[in-house]
Structure 1
C-alpha cells in the first residue's frame, strides 16, 4: 500500500473508532399496535445514530408481567399511560423519563369491502358470526373496544360472537386470516406505507372510549444505556413524529 493510502486508512480508522465505541444496542418492549411504525423508526434511528434497537412486540399487560419478573428490557413503549406510571411508582421505571409518544385510534375493520359501514351499524346486524378483540385485561385497545361496545349498548349481545386475542396484533391476525369477519383493531394497523389498506372500516369516535395515550418510559435496566436514552430522544424528533402521524396516530 502506498504511503498516502496507509495514512488515509489510519486516519479513517481513528475517526471511525469513536463512533464504533459509542454504538450500542437497546432492548425495547413495544406494544403490538405500534409494530409497523416502530420497525421503520428503529431502522431510521440506527442510520441516524449507529445504535441498534432490538424490538419485541406484544401486549402491554404481558410486558408488565415480564418486566416485574426481571426481563432485560431497557425501554417500554406501552399502549397506555397507566402501565409506565405504575412501573415508575414501583421503582422499575426511571422517574421523569415518561412521555406520550402517540395517541392511538380505535377502528372497526374488515378486509371485506362494504361490510363495515361508516357508523358501525354492522355491529347491530346479523352479517357476521365472529368479532375479534384484544383481551381487555392485557391490551388497552381491547379495553377501548369493550368500552365502545358498552357505550353502544351491545356488550352483552356481542359477547357470544367475540374471538379474544392476547394482543391487538393477534386480534388483527384473526380478522386477516378469516377466523373473524371483522374486529376492533388499531387504526395504525390498517395502514401500509402510510396508506389505508383494502377493506372497510369505521373509525370509532373518541367519545366512546377512554383516551388511548401511549407512553414511553426508560426502564431501570436501561438507565445506564446511551442507546436507550438516545432512542427516547429520537422518538421526540420531527422525523419520528412524521412516521407516527403517517400511520394514523395523533401526536
Structure 2
C-alpha cells in the first residue's frame, strides 16, 4: 500500500472511531446562560464530536424536575445553592461542583435614553405613571429575579415599583417582556443585552454587584451523569480556555 493510501485509510479509521465513540449528554441550563451555552455546545461538538442536548429554564424549576426524575446528566445553575443542595440530597455528585461563571444583573430598556448609566431612572417620575411596567424574573425560582428585588430594596425603590412589576417565570421571559415592549424596562442578565463589549440595543445600567448577593453560577454532575463519559467530557470542557473565552464575551466573569 502506498504512503498516501495509508494516510487516507488512517484518516478514515480515525473518523470512524470518533463517530463510534461520539455520544450525547442532557444538560439543564439556567435561562440567562442560553446564548453562551449554545455557542459552547457548538464548539464542544466541533472539538469532541459529542452532542450536548440543551434545555433552558429557571433553576428552581429544574431542581423540582430533577427531584422528580428528569433525565438530566448535568445542571448549569444560575446560583450556587441548588447544586450544593442536590449534592446534599444525593442527586448530585460530590466533588464535581464548580463555578463556571459569575453573572451580572442589568436594568434594561429596549428604548434608547430610558435607562441612564447610574440607575437614577428608578428614583424618577416613571414610577408615578401606572402604565409603566418593570419586568423581572420570579424571585422564588430565579436567582436573577431575587437579585433584582434585593437591588430595589437596597436602593429603597421597592415600595414605589412593586405595583409596576410583571414577573416572568425565568430571566428569558423577563427579557421577552422588555424586548417586545410589554414592559418599558426590566432587570435582565447582562449577557442577554451584551455584544462586542457593549450594550447591543436600547439603554441599560449595569447593576453594581454590592447591591445584591453574588450571582455565582455553579455546575454539577447529576446522579444520571455518574460514569457517563460525555457528561464528564462536558464538565471538563467548561473549564477549558475555549469555553471560558465564550463566557467572557457575554459579559460574565470567569
> Is the pair's TM-score, using the shorter chain for normalization, greater than 0.5?
yes
Give the whole-Å Cα distance in 2 for the aligned partners of 1:168 and 1:196: 17
- Residue 31 of structure 2 contacts residue 56 of structure 2 at CA under 8 Å; is this kept in 1? yes
Counterpart of 1:123 in structure 2 is 122
Shift of 1:223: 1.1
2:96 partner SS: coil
Which one of the candidate residues 149, 152, 158 is aligned to 2:152? 149
Shift of 1:125: 2.1
- Residue 195 of structure 2 contacts residue 249 of structure 2 at CA under 8 Å; is this kept in 1? no
Compared CA separation, residues 40 and 114, structure 1 to 2 (3 A) = same
Give the whole-Å Cα distance in 1 for the aligned partners of 2:253 and 2:9: 48
Shift of 1:226: 0.9
Give the whole-Å Cα distance in 1 for the aligned partners of 2:16 and 2:227: 21
Give the whole-Å Cα distance in 2 for the aligned partners of 1:99 and 1:230: 14
User: What are the ranges of 5 or more consecutive residues in structure 1 without an aligned counterpart?
Assistant: none
Counterpart of 1:106 in structure 2 is 105
Root mean square deviation, CA, Å:
1.8
Counterpart of 1:198 in structure 2 is 201
2:16 partner SS: helix
Give the whole-Å Cα distance in 1 for the aligned partners of 2:62 and 2:165: 24
Counterpart of 1:90 in structure 2 is 89
* TM-score for the superposition, normalised by structure 2: 0.93
Give the whole-Å Cα distance in 2 for the aligned partners of 1:90 and 1:177: 40
User: What are the ranges of 5 or more consecutive residues in structure 2 without an aligned counterpart?
Assistant: none
Shift of 1:22: 1.4
* TM-score for the superposition, normalised by structure 1: 0.94
Counterpart of 1:29 in structure 2 is 28
Compared CA separation, residues 165 and 17, structure 1 to 2 (3 A) = same
